[in-house]
A = this chain, B = another copy of it.
């Protein structure tokens, strides 16, 4: 199943069949309205060359109005055009010189615009670069693109439309699902499984050994606990740069479909992360952490070993979860506690020294009476 040799680099292939680069800035308001299927009110010929917020911006800026909070800035805004969620009233609109485009959801419309003007990314062409080192027992789909300097071990399968950017290493008996993109320097260790349409950021390491040791005692030094499990990623997952996900002691460390994980997050062995969760940058998941579907975890949070975050739960940035966040709740702080309680306690903490001093004084006065 040899793929064609391909020695060109980076041809801005459109490997994901997306809508990138179907437009380029500047663009007229009327063309945006057509793209979005929105209703244009105002000057159809406003030229738009940048995107910005309603409070900043120039006459060539496209902005968006998702609520009446934003709408009230429109009259005094310099922006030439806004995408507006339908049914929002926008006071002070000058139809001669400016344009409003009413759409079902301004946020989603902005995403469509960004996608349309998004420059295509550099991707190697389908085929295997001559400098890649592929074991003869690896199975590479002919439509996959394997960039320079990649190494792929025996028994590994690479699906249709997969893109491997340069200098990626994939061990033996691993599997990469179709249309998944791996950025440069990614390491996928033996037997790990990556689903379809995933995007793995540069220099991520998937499948390093979990951190498991029997601690040292009087008789012997610490003993490594072999980590014989794997990592299994579902479909449509995105990992930022330098994410590390460790293989399980046995069984699998798993990440559910459609979950998105930001840069430098560490997922320890045997974690089970649900579907549709969002985990922001530099968060730490200890061993065997369980996160439910649709959870949202802020940046630089710490989830203690064995802690549990429920479905639809939220954890604030920087929080330290010791044990459990119930389904649907929002936890904040160190140790993490319900948001309202945390805000009150941290507010009290800001005045703690002063409170202690005053209480001391008042108690002494009362005691001396």
Chain A residues close to B by CB (< 8 Å): 7-12, 20, 50-52, 107-108, 110-111, 114-115, 117-119, 121-122, 129, 131, 133-135, 147-149, 151-154, 165-167, 169, 171-173, 183-185, 187, 189-191, 201-203, 205, 208-209, 211, 213-216, 221-226, 228, 236, 238, 240-242, 244, 246, 249-251, 258, 260, 262-264, 266, 268, 276, 278, 280-282, 284, 286, 294, 296, 299-300, 302, 304-305, 317-318, 320, 334-335, 337, 341, 344-356, 359, 362-363, 366-367
Report the Cα distance A78→B343, complex, angstroms.
46
* This protein's copies in its complex: 3
Known: A114-B249, A242-B205, A363-B359. A9 touches B151 (CB 8 A): yes
| Contact partners of A8 in chain B: CB under 8 A | 135
25 sampled A-B residue pairs with Cβ under 8 A: A7-B133, A10-B153, A111-B224, A119-B228, A122-B190, A133-B166, A151-B167, A151-B184, A169-B184, A183-B208, A187-B202, A187-B241, A201-B208, A203-B205, A211-B263, A266-B281, A299-B302, A305-B317, A335-B346, A341-B353, A344-B354, A348-B352, A348-B356, A349-B349, A363-B363
Please give me the residue from chain B that is nearest to A208 by CB atom.
B241
Whether A131 and B129, one on each chain, are in contact in the complex, defined by CB atoms closer than 8 angstroms, is: no
For the complex formed, measure the closest distance between the CB of A278 and the CB atoms of chain B, giving whole angstroms. Answer: 6
Among B187, B228, B250, point to the contact of A203 (Cβ < 8 A). B187
B169 A211 Cβ-Cβ under 8 A: no
List, in ascending order, chain B residues with CB within 8 A of A286's CB.
280-281, 299, 317
A251 to chain B, nearest CB (A): 8
Known: A169-B185, A344-B354. 7 other contacts (CB 8 A): A9-B133, A50-B251, A111-B224, A122-B171, A335-B350, A348-B353, A349-B349
Chain B residues with Cβ under 8 A from A268's Cβ?
262-263, 281, 299
Determine whether the beta carbon of B266 is less than 8 Å from that of A246: no
Measured between C-beta atoms, what is the minimum distance from A7 to chain B in Å? 8
Q: Given the interface contacts A362-B363, A363-B366, does A151 sit within 8 Å of B151 by beta carbon?
A: no
Return A283 CB to nearest CB of chain B, in Å.
Answer: 9
